Chains A and B, each alone.
Chain A
Amino acid sequence: MLRAAEVTCRFGRATVLHGVTLDVPRGGITGVIGPNGSGKTTLLRTLSGSLAPTSGQVTIDGVPIASVPARTLARRLAVVPQEIHPVFDYTVLDLALMGRYAHLGAFGFETTNDLLAARRALAATGTADLECRHVDTLSGGEKQRVVIASALAQFDEQDDGTARLLILDEPTAALDLHYQYEVAHLLRVLAHERGLTLLVTTHDLQLAWQVCDRVVLLQAGRVLADGPTRETLTPAHLRALYGVQVDRITHDDGDVSLVPRSLSGAAPSR
């Protein structure tokens, strides 16, 4: 549904993306993995329509994303940034209701429908009980789930057959192991039970293995590999990406652990 064709992004003399072509198929979770500076965030900004590429094109269901009005796009595509820092003090419900911007009238307040959608989104992320709390009193995991709820609230309630796309930039980066797994579980539920299409960047290989149906490997602004997780997250690819030996250990129950080898003297080379 979301497609980048020959997307190149330049900032001044630096070229961050070199003719990237990729498809985010409808349904399921697509992961974007790559080292720092490989262009993940730029790719995400381009795919969400926040950044116009220097050349190439991003299309959503075949329509150039730049030609979709912002309010229309916001009802189908929502972004969860790595971190948010609201400058003023908002409650959890306020934050969730901010997802309803594209549904509001020019001067109006939220309607019953907006409140329903916001509460439904909070319920979907398990944060309905936090409704009255102030955002700056939340723990990292709670805050991340509330921000996801705020993004979910953007979508049209009526199912008109078009896909709903949720783009998350390193959703677990700031979280401890417990919250990482909580968020990972939430992402799976959103994709597989609620039928959303998810695009996720992450540095966490284990998370990628567990939640992603497909993975795109990004290296220095180019696509190194793109395909089902099982075929892309291989020790060879990861060695090419990070210069680190990562073992893929299959346990007796079929579960897989991706474990980096301990450093043995020499610094890793790429």
Chain B
Amino acid sequence: MSAATWPPVEHQLAQRAASARRRQAWRVYLGFGALLLGALVAAPLVGSTRLHLDSVLDRSTPFADNLDAQIFFIARLPRVLAAADVGATLAVAGVVMQALLRNPLATPFTLGVSAGSALGAMLAITLLPTWTAGGFTAVPLASLAGALGAVLIVYGLAQVRHRGFSTDVLLLAGVTLNAFFSALILLVQYLSDFTQTIRTLRWLMGDLDVGGYQPLLTALPLLLVAGGVFAWLARSLNVLALGAELAGTRGVPVLTVQRLAFFGASLATGVAVSLAGPIGFVGIIVPHLVRLLVGSDHRVVMPAAALFGGAFLIACDAVARTVIAPVELPVGVITSVIGAPFFLWLLVRKT
């Protein structure tokens, strides 16, 4: 039965197929990587003032006198990097949620993370409007806390009914929690004053204007850890898509994989939402588009979704900043306005 008993031709063909699959994966990584890199460089150039790359990179004028470079690096690049961060995170979290719940319609927000975040953010806006600590306002911290709260409640509920990890219970608990938190949000909004309501509404629309590099640097380690976890999960998520019990007989440590996928995706989503608010549609459109382009192998889909998600949100944000400049539209509006019709087209096209 050993491989050596195979005719050499067979062996050669297998070798060729194996390396073709690896090459194909690297082509995808590099292609989508180039796309993201292009978006990262091009997006800060557009806006109410158009910049040129050569004047931005002009070394003959010092940075303090180079207005274009200042706009590029101080005003716009943090925002573009935030878009890359948030877009990548939401897209990968979407892929993971869809695999975990075995449901292609799942999003990073399906299990109530965004509603929990929103409730936290809104309570902070209403109750602690001027509170700061170590350079942070209360809003991102409260939003992260809200996300954590939602994650723990959903997880607790999924554990009570089942000794394992019932995705059905997870899904139902998440949907119910979403509705419950939304009701609380409406209640608090009804009771709060006009400016607070406007601030909450703005937050809910999503805003990538993070104000500088500091929030990004704070979020980075968390997102990198999540990235490492996702990289390890990729091959297991492939088999998990066939069903949890079958995956178990194939050698997948199902419970560990499900827990890591659930907490990894939820917490990464919580971080992204606390950075920029609940930006919709990225987490469902990007995974589907990427699968359409590169197939369903999670080892290829997840990195591609991260890179493409970043580029996609950068592009949406560039549209939001320019379409009726100098007024900047909330990016969440753009992702949904582009995303919803596109998604419907995708649905119709498939059937």
Contact = CB atoms under 8 A, between A and B. Distances in A.
A114 B269 CA distance: 35
Contacts of A154: 250-251
B85 to A, nearest CB: 23
B242 A49 contact: no
B249 A94 contact: no
B297 interface: yes
Nearest to B101: A87
Nearest to B95: A88
Interface residues of B, number: 42
Interface residues of A, number: 44
Interface stretch (A26-34, A97-105, A174-182, A244-252): A97-105
A159 B235 CA distance: 26
Contact of A101 (B17, B22, B235, B245): B235
Interface stretch (A77-85, A184-192, A257-265): A77-85
A94 B248 contact: no
Interface in A172-221: none
A75 B299 CA distance: 22
A243 to B, nearest CB: 32
Contacts of B21: 109-110
B18 interface: yes
Contacts of B193: none
A98 B3 contact: no
B273 to A, nearest CB: 25
Contact of A88 (B231, B232, B241, B245): B241
B89 to A, nearest CB: 20
Interface in B101-144: 102-104
B18 A87 contact: no
B336 interface: no
Contacts of A159: 1-2
B7 to A, nearest CB: 11
B290 to A, nearest CB: 11
A155 to B, nearest CB: 8
Given A94-B297, A109-B18, A79 B246 contact: yes
Interface in B1-30: 1-3, 6, 10-11, 13-15, 17-18, 21-22, 25
A111 B13 CA distance: 12
| Complex A-B, nearest 3 residue pairs according to Cβ-Cβ distance, in ascending order | A74-B251, A102-B251, A88-B296
Given A74-B251, A113-B3, 6 more contacts: A70-B253, A91-B295, A94-B295, A101-B252, A107-B234, A107-B235
